[in-house]
């Protein structure tokens, strides 16, 4: 496959930049040329692990990016230059590469810059061959601090330390702060030109071989050409990740226009952002080039690419919309996309604004990173969203995904303050839900989302929508409760990110509640039209700032349109994290005819905040429903609400409801003295809250029966679980039978009924709960034990039919077993299931029947240590197993949609194992978890494995899972494994386990430190898991520092006496600590090791001052190129060396592990262990806090010196081949040193001096 | 050959034509007749001075003669029935011959011609036995007002009903039961077979043959089998759809569904609007201006480097 890109970029100045630069920077021309090459001949580097890639011939020949940009230099003193010079005059060009058949990507940039001598770009994984500015070779530095977060061995393994180091590393290359991995030095000849505001062109040649992130290659291992095999590639990433596949300014706030060219095999289609201008064959007619132009200023993270042998479907309603899917799936695509135009129409109508781009493309790919990802004018979806007309359950899900993707197309792509955009797109998506799926569905969804965010915040602490980082100091951290930083999207855990999105749209809804929907839509319309006006302005890049949506602009727009001040609301929910927790109770005062309501708050526990302001309370009385708005104030708990009704229960009169309906009620259950039927607190969910309200059971029952709001009904159902009485039973049964009731409420009622039945087991009368109901609704009239042949025309009853058996299976008799007749009933349902006359597939129904079987399982009565054999299998279990085996085997012959049956069978088998009916064994799940099964099946198998690992405490399985995390081709699966391990951890920080050992700590540490550098999300997942397993501080399984400490200079830390810890690596363990002379020697060694692992200057982030100084040295060379650099570096090195020789002890004091060293130096006499560890952590955090800011002067200075030391040692290292050899050996033992990223950087041509 | 024999042979031929359900002896009978006819034709040919004839020619002449004789027989029978008799008389035959344009007067002369050859009578074969009609049930006796000489009533099953002796299974429960167990048996047998012939996985270590699971085989394109409905499913779906018309009379929204989910529509152009637009749209397909449908251009000489 050959890709040829020509990207035209017009970049805008960063708002955060100083105004002066801003004015002096006109639009710049920035253009790239990228060429991707496929490796037809497998190089020795492409190991067997990279199976997909090595066999996929990726020829990326040349990629050109051209554009206009106002790339500006941050002229502050934060620039740095590290002595790795990369430009070689005889650098291979395109033709050489073609001849050599090595895979590479090439990128050319032509920028114009003003007063700019350094250009910083983002680039990861790319190997840069040469950079030219205006045809002049330009020196450049490539340094990626996130490759390895902590550079030296830290036996402390402190997550606090890691998180701050990681945040600092991300900050160090943060494009929004003007940083980047790639620093290009503008040749001095051009400085003059730059000062004259003339155009500079930057041209970057780069290659990208076997990328582990950014681009994903799916290459099925079958016969045939790439097109026949359905091989495809697409870009992906968590937040801004475009830097993974070409050098760019990887920021949402840097907008530019684009021209893209992709040369691909003639059988392939390249889909990218913008308008396809033309497609042209290459000269040999075997490839073709796609030319795209994106005239609307767009940020680099919104650029994407998908290449594959796609089938093309032009939307029959909107010819500007084109859909792409993998071969053979066209019929599914046609069906799945048949209603997309309705979503389009809906959004355009409510926003009274046209879709911002001139075309739209949807691409469905396999092994997608996320279900849907939106980019400028295109969206990439998972192919698993496609479905045929026979599938019921997937249809609403797919439609929701499409609606979400489209909502993001309107709003999500112009990023400034993330919460605003996520909020708006989530909000208009909600409006679509309301219109398409109805108000019930919408309110149900809002409640679901609210419950989710409340649960998360109460558990994990607050979610902050709009954090402000004032000083950036540790104590100013707005979210100290989290184990990761929320400063950068790349450090956010996935869960948090999802909750963030969820909260954002809920807050948007709160704003709507305040200012009305009409105004809300007006605001959106205004924002959109401003943006579109701005985008049509050519080259006046300052206009483009209008396209970026900040909180401030949004709020201003709201106050302009509505004239309302929503400041308090924003302050409460946007600037502060956490939710509100209410406890409500009431008493009725008969004398005064007053309802005395008490509302208390819990604002002390984690994730809660105090709420002051209005709250709505709805009281349903005999005379009708009344809304009251109460003020929650600081100290008032009690609120008196006058009642309207006189107690006049004797009159037979209909009772008016909130919606005007009048109903007859049987009032015999209620309290004779009070006219209150039920009370609801905050019925509109206009506060992000959890309400625990106490009212009598009959009131809940009335609420369930007669309140028409689905949220109230659902609340009543969950409250009734606590009241297992015949009256509750009756209320639930009535709801179940009521056809008008929302089906999800009825489904919930099923489960509640099962719980109530179990609580009432000794007094339960009649057949098992729901059985007669099910019989009446779904079984034949003539023979009630046989279910009707399936007819799923009515979806409501379909969902009920699916749910009831699942809930019924949860019933238990007095022996805590599933009643025999329930089990037989379910078995009969399976037996008589007949779908021949049905126009819909019954795969989800059958899957639910399997789930019902699973639910009916109870733990086996085990006689001590008895081995589970076929012979002693329980008779019921035998029947169940029989069914499951048959289902699973049939699935091999007639696979169901998305293999739903297999998925449930696997979890059923795991359930049988866990309950001790069959021997616990992981091999079956392992085979299903292998790459090559459908992803749902894999995830189900992995879930079983994770459970197995926890129950059996199996370290082999844990290793197997972690291996998969490192090696599996599908990113989604890797992410999923870590997520499941965190959710169902084999052990936690509070429990002891044999699994928790040092090797595991090391392994996980390496995984998050360097093993996941190609995928932000995965790294955050690993951090999450580490947190779950070990907590924030030093994992307990690591040996405690004790007496008899020795100083290991190689590890730069004090360790236990080697006799206590024999597994320590060999190294110059100095037995006599604090000997200055030996320190010197040891240091030398240590640095070599370190430098070898880490290609460039380590920890850029914590050495800004040093960098500054270095740059200062480099700043004024009179000649460009090699000499300058070498001499400058030499200079620095000498200087450093000088320092080293004179101040060795100083260095030791400032080593990466100051506490340990200090220990070695200071605590020669026995120090009590506890006090020491305390000191350790406090020092560590102090140290970590320093990274971005140097408030302690002497620390600052120490750092400088330390850096120079390193430099000196590196220098030495270069000449000491002996040491190098040793280091190589060490490298091999290091799990991640061979990762392509670090390995390549080490050996890349640009690095070789 | 006298007239009666001729007539007899005519009758025989009638039987030959109409009585297709000839058993083996009956067939022999007819074959013998036919052979005689062939001999007759040959004799006539010899009479006319032919020395030899191709088999096909003889066969054709035989065929012609047979159909001529048959026609005479048919007509004679018609005449006789026309006059309410059941057996044709000589007069019937004569009228027939005249009707067919044959001068009947020449017949006696021709029959007594000198050079005629004498043909041996066909071998005596048993006339075919008409199989006895299936008698089912009790034949009704004549009611009092019908004289006894009238023919008997035919079997009641020919005009009242046919009694069968096993009740067809119409009980819904049994049908469902049977369908379910049949399906289950087939499935079980099939999966057992697959499990026996291929690799398996087992849930138990002590007895690996109990509950055999067909081993999981990774496929190279797993999403295809998971997303595309299997052929069997498609097939049953089509069957269902065709039979849906009568099935769905009870559901009120069936009509609407039927239009939208017409099987043909599902496959070909389900996304097209139900109005008349689709066909127009489809023909306009090439008119749609979508950049992805445009042909790929030939390369220009200019080359970007």
Residue of A nearest to B188 (CA): A886
Q: What is the ipTM of this complex?
A: 0.70
Write out chain A residues lying below 8 Å of B267, CB-based: 331
A1012-1027 per-position pLDDT tens digit: 888 889 999 999 999 9
Among B220, B228, B251, the residue with its CB nearest the CB of A220 is B220
Give B196's pLDDT tier (boundaries 50, 70, 90): confident
Which range among A137-146, A462-471, A924-933 shows the weakest confidence by mean pLDDT? A462-471
Cβ-defined contact of A930 to B219 (cutoff 8 Å): no
Interface test with B, best of A389, A879, A901, A940 (most B CBs within 10 A): A389
A106-148 per-position pLDDT tens digit: 454 544 445 667 778 888 887 787 787 777 888 888 888 888 8
Q: Is B112 strand, coil or helix?
A: coil
Residue of B nearest to A785 (CA): B173
A182-216 per-position pLDDT tens digit: 888 878 877 776 566 566 677 777 777 778 888 88
Query: Tokens 């400034």 sit at which residue?
Result: A416
Write out chain A residues lying below 8 Å of B247, CB-based: 837
Residue of B nearest to A784 (CA): B173
- pLDDT (0 to 100) of residue A213: 85
Q: Report the mean per-residue pLDDT for chain A.
A: 73
Q: Is A607 left (phi over 0), alpha (psi -120 to 50) or beta?
A: left
Cβ-defined contact of A838 to B240 (cutoff 8 Å): yes
Write out chain A residues lying below 8 Å of B226, CB-based: 384, 895, 897-899, 934, 936
Write out chain B residues lying below 8 Å of A897, CB-based: 226-227, 229
- pLDDT (0 to 100) of residue A340: 93
Among A229, A312, A918, the residue with its CB nearest the CB of B203 is A918
Whether residue A1209 contacts residue A1050, with contact meaning beta carbons closer than 8 Å, is answered with no
Which range among A496-510, A974-988, B130-144 shows the weakest confidence by mean pLDDT? B130-144
For the cut 80, the answer to whether the pLDDT of residue A996 exceeds it is: yes
Nearest to A236 by CA among A1144, A1100, A1017, A1019: A1017
A1092-1124 per-position pLDDT tens digit: 333 333 333 333 443 444 444 333 333 333 333
Write out chain B residues lying below 8 Å of A835, CB-based: 236
Write out chain A residues lying below 8 Å of B276, CB-based: none
Residue of A nearest to B221 (CA): A220
> How many CB pairs below 8 Å do chains A and B form together?
222
pTM here is 0.71
Q: Is A802 strand, coil or helix?
A: helix
For the cut 90, the answer to whether the pLDDT of residue A1148 exceeds it is: no
Query: Tokens 């190589």 sit at which residue?
Result: A1224
A609-654 per-position pLDDT tens digit: 889 889 999 999 888 899 999 998 877 788 899 888 765 555 667 8
Cβ-defined contact of A841 to B221 (cutoff 8 Å): no
Write out chain B residues lying below 8 Å of A934, CB-based: 222-223, 225-226
DSSP class of A911: H
Residue of A nearest to B291 (CA): A276
Write out chain A residues lying below 8 Å of B255, CB-based: none
- pLDDT (0 to 100) of residue B134: 65
Write out chain B residues lying below 8 Å of A335, CB-based: 266, 270-271
Distance of CA A999 to the CA centre of its chain: 27
Write out chain B residues lying below 8 Å of A841, CB-based: 229, 233
Half-sphere exposure of A930 (CA within 13 A, CB side): 13
Q: Is A729 strand, coil or helix?
A: helix
Cβ-defined contact of B290 to A384 (cutoff 8 Å): no
Whether residue A997 contacts residue A1037, with contact meaning beta carbons closer than 8 Å, is answered with yes
Q: How far apart (Å, rounded) are the C-alpha atoms in residues A1126 and A1122?
A: 6
For chain A, the C-alpha Rg in angstroms (whole number) is 33
Task: Give A1160→chain B minimum CA distance, Å.
Answer: 56
Cβ-defined contact of A288 to B257 (cutoff 8 Å): no
- Answer with the residue of higher pLDDT: B28 or A758: A758
Interface test with B, best of A388, A393, A917 (most B CBs within 10 A): A388
For the cut 90, the answer to whether the pLDDT of residue A433 exceeds it is: yes
Q: Are strands A30-36 and A63-65 parallel, antiparallel or unpaired?
A: antiparallel
Residue of A nearest to B201 (CA): A924
Write out chain A residues lying below 8 Å of B237, CB-based: 390, 839
Cβ-defined contact of A923 to B201 (cutoff 8 Å): yes
Among B227, B232, B298, the residue with its CB nearest the CB of A894 is B232
Cβ-defined contact of A898 to B227 (cutoff 8 Å): yes
Cβ-defined contact of A932 to B218 (cutoff 8 Å): yes
Q: How far apart (Å, rounded) are the C-alpha atoms in residues A1166 and A1043?
A: 6
Task: Give B258→chain A minimum CA distance, Å.
Answer: 11
Write out chain A residues lying below 8 Å of B204, CB-based: 868-870, 918-919
Residue of B nearest to A394 (CA): B227
- pLDDT (0 to 100) of residue A546: 60
Q: Are strands A30-36 and A3-9 parallel, antiparallel or unpaired?
A: antiparallel
Write out chain A residues lying below 8 Å of B273, CB-based: 316-317
Quickly list H helices, A358-417.
394-411
* pLDDT, average across residues A898-921: 93
- Answer with the residue of higher pLDDT: A107 or B105: B105
Residue of A nearest to B287 (CA): A319
Which range among A322-336, A441-455, A1079-1093, B191-205 shows the weakest confidence by mean pLDDT? A1079-1093
Residue of B nearest to A329 (CA): B228
Cβ-defined contact of A831 to B184 (cutoff 8 Å): yes
Q: Is A733 strand, coil or helix?
A: helix
Cβ-defined contact of B272 to A316 (cutoff 8 Å): yes
CB-based contacts of A679, cutoff 8 Å, min separation 6: A584, A586, A595, A597, A617, A618, A619, A620, A693, A695, A699
Residue A1228, token pair as written in the block:
């091999």
- Answer with the residue of higher pLDDT: A1104 or A306: A306
A172-182 per-position pLDDT tens digit: 888 877 788 88
Q: Report the mean per-residue pLDDT for chain B.
A: 73
Give A27's pLDDT tier (boundaries 50, 70, 90): very low
Among A285, A319, A912, the residue with its CB nearest the CB of B289 is A319
CB-based contacts of A281, cutoff 8 Å, min separation 6: A266, A287, A288, A289, B296, B297, B298, B299
Task: Give A896→chain B minimum CA distance, Å.
Answer: 6
Residue A717, token pair as written in the block:
């159902």
Beta bridge partners of A1067: none
Residue of B nearest to A93 (CA): B305
Which range among A50-64, A792-806, A1205-1219 shows the weakest confidence by mean pLDDT? A50-64
- pLDDT (0 to 100) of residue B78: 92
Residue of A nearest to B295 (CA): A279
For the cut 90, the answer to whether the pLDDT of residue A660 exceeds it is: no
Cβ-defined contact of A889 to B243 (cutoff 8 Å): no
Nearest to A719 by CA among A708, A705, A730, A704: A704
CB-based contacts of A1047, cutoff 8 Å, min separation 6: A1053, A1054, A1055, A1069, A1070, A1073, A1074, A1082, A1156, A1157, A1160
- pLDDT (0 to 100) of residue B251: 38
* pLDDT, average across residues A1190-1208: 43
- Answer with the residue of higher pLDDT: A906 or A863: A906
């Amino acid at each position: 496959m050959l890709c040829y890109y020509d990207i035209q970029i017009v970049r805008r100045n960063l708002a955060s930049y100083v105004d002066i630069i801003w004015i002096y920077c006109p639009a710049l021309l920035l253009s790239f040329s990228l060429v991707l090459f496929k490796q037809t001949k497998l190089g020795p580097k492409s190991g067997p692990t990279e199976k997909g890639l090595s066999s996929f011939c990726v020829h990326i020949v040349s990629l050109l990016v051209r554009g206009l940009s106002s790339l500006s230099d941050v002229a502050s003193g934060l620039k740095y230059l590290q002595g790795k010079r990369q430009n070689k005059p005889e650098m291979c060009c395109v033709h050489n590469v073609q001849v050599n058949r090595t895979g590479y990507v090439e990128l050319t940039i032509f920028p114009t810059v003003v007063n700019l001598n350094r250009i910083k770009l983002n680039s990861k994984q790319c190997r840069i061959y040469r950079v030219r500015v205006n045809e002049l070779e330009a020196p450049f530095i490539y340094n990626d601090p996130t490759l390895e977060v902590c550079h030296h061995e830290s036996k402390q393994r402190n997550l606090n330390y890691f998180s701050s180091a990681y945040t600092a590393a991300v900050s160090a290359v943060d494009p929004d702060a003007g940083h980047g991995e790639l620093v290009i030095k503008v040749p001095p000849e051009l400085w003059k030109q730059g000062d004259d505001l003339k155009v500079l062109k930057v041209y970057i040649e780069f290659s990208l071989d076997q990328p582990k992130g950014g681009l994903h290659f799916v290459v099925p291992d079958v016969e045939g050409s790439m097109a026949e095999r359905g091989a495809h590639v697409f870009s992906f990433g968590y937040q801004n990740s475009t830097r993974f596949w070409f050098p760019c300014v990887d920021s949402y706030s840097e907008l530019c226009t684009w021209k893209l060219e992709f040369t691909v095999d003639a059988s392939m289609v390249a889909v990218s952002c913008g308008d396809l201008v033309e497609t042209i064959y290459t000269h040999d007619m075997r490839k073709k080039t796609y030319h795209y132009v994106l005239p609307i200023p767009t940020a680099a993270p919104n650029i994407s690419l998908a290449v594959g042998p796609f089938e093309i479907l032009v939307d029959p309603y909107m010819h500007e919309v084109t859909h792409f899917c993998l071969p053979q799936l066209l019929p599914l695509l046609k069906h799945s996309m048949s209603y997309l135009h309705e979503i389009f129409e809906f959004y355009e109508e409510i926003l009274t604004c046209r879709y911002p781009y001139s075309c739209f493309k949807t691409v469905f790919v396999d092994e997608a990173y996320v279900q849907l990802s939106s980019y400028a004018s295109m969206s990439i979806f998972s192919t698993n969203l496609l479905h045929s007309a026979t599938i019921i359950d997937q249809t609403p899900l797919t439609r929701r995904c499409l609606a979400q993707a489209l909502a993001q197309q309107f709003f999500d792509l112009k990023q400034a303050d993330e919460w605003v955009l996520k909020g708006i797109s989530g909000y208009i998506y909600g409006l679509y839900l309301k219109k398409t799926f109805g108000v019930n569905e919408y309110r149900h969804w809002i409640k679901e989302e609210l419950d989710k965010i409340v649960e998360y915040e109460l558990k994990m602490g607050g979610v902050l929508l709009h954090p402000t980082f004032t000083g950036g100091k540790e104590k100013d951290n707005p979210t100290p409760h989290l184990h990761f930083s929320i400063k950068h999207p790349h450090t956010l855990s996935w869960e948090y990110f999802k909750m963030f999105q969820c909260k954002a749209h809920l807050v948007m809804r709160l704003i709507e509640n305040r200012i009305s929907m009409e105004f809300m839509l007006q605001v959106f319309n205004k924002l959109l039209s401003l943006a579109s006006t701005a985008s049509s302005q050519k080259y006046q890049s300052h206009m483009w700032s209008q396209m970026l949506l900040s909180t401030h602009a949004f709020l201003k727009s709201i106050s302009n349109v509505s004239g309302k001040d929503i400041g308090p609301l924003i302050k409460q929910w946007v600037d502060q994290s956490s939710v509100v927790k209410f406890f409500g109770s009431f008493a009725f005062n008969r004398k005064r005819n007053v309802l005395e309501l008490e509302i208390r708050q819990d604002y002390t526990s984690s994730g809660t905040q105090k709420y002051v302001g209005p709250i709505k309370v709805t009281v349903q009385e005999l005379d009708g429903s009344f809304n009251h708005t109460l003020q929650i104030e600081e100290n008032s708990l009690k609120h008196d609400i006058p009642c309207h009704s006189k107690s006049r229960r004797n009159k037979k009169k209909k009772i008016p409801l909130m919606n005007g309906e009048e109903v007859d009620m049987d009032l015999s259950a209620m309290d004779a003295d009070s006219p209150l039927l039920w009370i609801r607190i905050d019925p509109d969910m206009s506060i992000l809250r959890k309400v625990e309200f106490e009212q009598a059971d009959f009131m809940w029952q009335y609420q369930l029966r007669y309140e028409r709001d689905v949220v109230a009904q659902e609340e009543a159902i969950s409250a009734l679980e606590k009241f297992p009485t015949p009256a509750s039973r009756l209320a639930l049964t009535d709801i179940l039978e009521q056809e008008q009731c929302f089906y999800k409420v009825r489904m919930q009622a099923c489960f509640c009924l099962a719980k109530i039945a179990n609580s009432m087991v000794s007094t339960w009368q009649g057949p098992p709960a729901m059985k007669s109901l099910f019989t009446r609704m779904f079984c034949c009239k003539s023979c009630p034990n046989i279910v009707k042949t399936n007819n799923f025309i009515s979806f409501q009853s379909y969902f009920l039919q699916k749910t009831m058996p699942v809930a019924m299976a949860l019933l238990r008799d007095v022996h805590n077993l599933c009643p025999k007749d329930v089990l037989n009933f379910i078995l009969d349902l399976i037996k008589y299931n007949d779908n021949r006359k049905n126009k819909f597939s019954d795969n989800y129904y059958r899957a639910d029947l399997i789930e019902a079987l699973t639910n009916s399982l109870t733990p086996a009565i085990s006689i001590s240590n008895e081995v589970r054999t076929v012979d002693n299998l329980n008779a019921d279990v035998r029947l169940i197993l029989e069914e499951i085996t048959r289902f699973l085997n049939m699935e091999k012959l007639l696979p169901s949609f998305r293999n739903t049956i297999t998925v449930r069978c696997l979890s059923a088998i795991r359930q049988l194992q866990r309950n001790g009916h069959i021997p616990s064994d992981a091999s079956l799940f392992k085979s299903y978890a292998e790459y090559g099964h459908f992803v749902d099946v894999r995830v189900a198998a992995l879930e079983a494995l994770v459970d197995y690992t926890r129950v059996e405490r199996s370290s082999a399985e844990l290793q197997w899972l972690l291996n998969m995390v490192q090696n599996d081709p599908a990113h989604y699966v890797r992410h999923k494994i870590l997520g499941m391990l965190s959710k169902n951890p084999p052990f936690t920080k509070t429990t002891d386990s044999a699994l928790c050992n040092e090797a595991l700590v090391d392994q996980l540490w390496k995984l998050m430190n360097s093993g996941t550098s190609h995928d932000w999300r995965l790294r955050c997942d690993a951090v999450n898991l580490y947190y779950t397993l070990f907590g924030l501080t030093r994992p307990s399984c690591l040996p405690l520092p004790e007496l008899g400490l020795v100083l290991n200079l190689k590890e730069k830390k004090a360790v236990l006496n080697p006799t206590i810890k024999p597994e320590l690596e060999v190294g110059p363990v100095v037995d006599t600590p604090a000997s200055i002379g030996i320190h010197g020697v040891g240091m030398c060694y240590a640095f070599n090791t370190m430098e070898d692992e880490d290609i460039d200057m380590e920890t850029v982030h914590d050495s800004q001052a040093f960098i500054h100084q270095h740059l200062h040295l480099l700043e004024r060379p009179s000649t460009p190129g090699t000499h300058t650099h070498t001499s400058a570096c030499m200079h620095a090195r000498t200087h450093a060396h000088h320092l080293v020789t004179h101040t060795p002890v100083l260095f030791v004091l400032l080593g990466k592990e100051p506490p340990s060293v200090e220990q070695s130096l200071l605590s020669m006499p026995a120090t009590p262990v506890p006090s020491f560890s305390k000191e350790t952590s406090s020092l560590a955090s102090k140290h970590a806090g320093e990274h971005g800011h140097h408030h302690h002067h002497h620390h600052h200075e120490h750092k400088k010196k330390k850096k120079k030391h390193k430099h000196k040692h590196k220098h030495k290292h270069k000449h000491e081949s002996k040491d190098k050899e040793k280091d190589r050996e060490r490298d091999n033992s290091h799990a991640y040193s061979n990762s392509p990223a670090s390995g390549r950087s080490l050996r890349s041509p640009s690095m070789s001096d | 050959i006298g007239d009666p024999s001729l007539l007899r042979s005519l009758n025989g031929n009638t039987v030959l034509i109409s009585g297709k359900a000839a058993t083996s002896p009956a067939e022999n009978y007819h074959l013998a007749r036919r052979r005689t006819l062939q001999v007759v034709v040959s004799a006539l040919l010899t009479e006319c001075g032919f020395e030899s004839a191709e088999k096909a020619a003889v066969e054709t002449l035989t065929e012609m003669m047979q159909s001529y004789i048959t026609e005479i027989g048919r007509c004679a029978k018609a005449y006789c029935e026309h006059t309410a008799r059941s057996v044709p008389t000589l007069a019937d035959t004569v009228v027939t011959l005249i009707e067919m344009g044959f001068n009947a007067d020449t017949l006696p002369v021709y029959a007594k011609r000198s050079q005629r050859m004498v043909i041996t009578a066909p071998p005596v074969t048993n006339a075919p036995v008409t199989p006895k009609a299936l008698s089912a049930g009790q034949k009704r006796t004549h009611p009092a007002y019908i004289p006894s000489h009238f023919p008997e009533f035919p079997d009641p099953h020919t005009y009242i009903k046919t009694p069968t002796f096993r009740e067809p299974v119409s009980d819904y429960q049994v049908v469902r039961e049977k369908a379910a167990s049949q399906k289950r048996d087939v499935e079980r047998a099939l999966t057992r077979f697959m499990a026996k012939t291929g690799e398996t996985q087992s849930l138990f270590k002590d007895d690996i043959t109990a509950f055999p699971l067909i081993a999981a085989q990774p496929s190279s394109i797993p999403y295809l089998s998971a997303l595309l409905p299997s052929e069997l499913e498609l097939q049953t779906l089509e069957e269902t759809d065709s039979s849906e018309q009568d099935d769905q009379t009870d559901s009120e929204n069936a009509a609407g569904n039927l239009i939208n989910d017409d099987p043909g529509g599902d496959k070909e152009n389900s996304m097209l609007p139900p109005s008349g637009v689709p066909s127009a749209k489809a023909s306009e397909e090439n008119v749609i201006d979508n950049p992805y449908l445009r042909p790929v251009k030939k390369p220009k000489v200019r080359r970007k480097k």
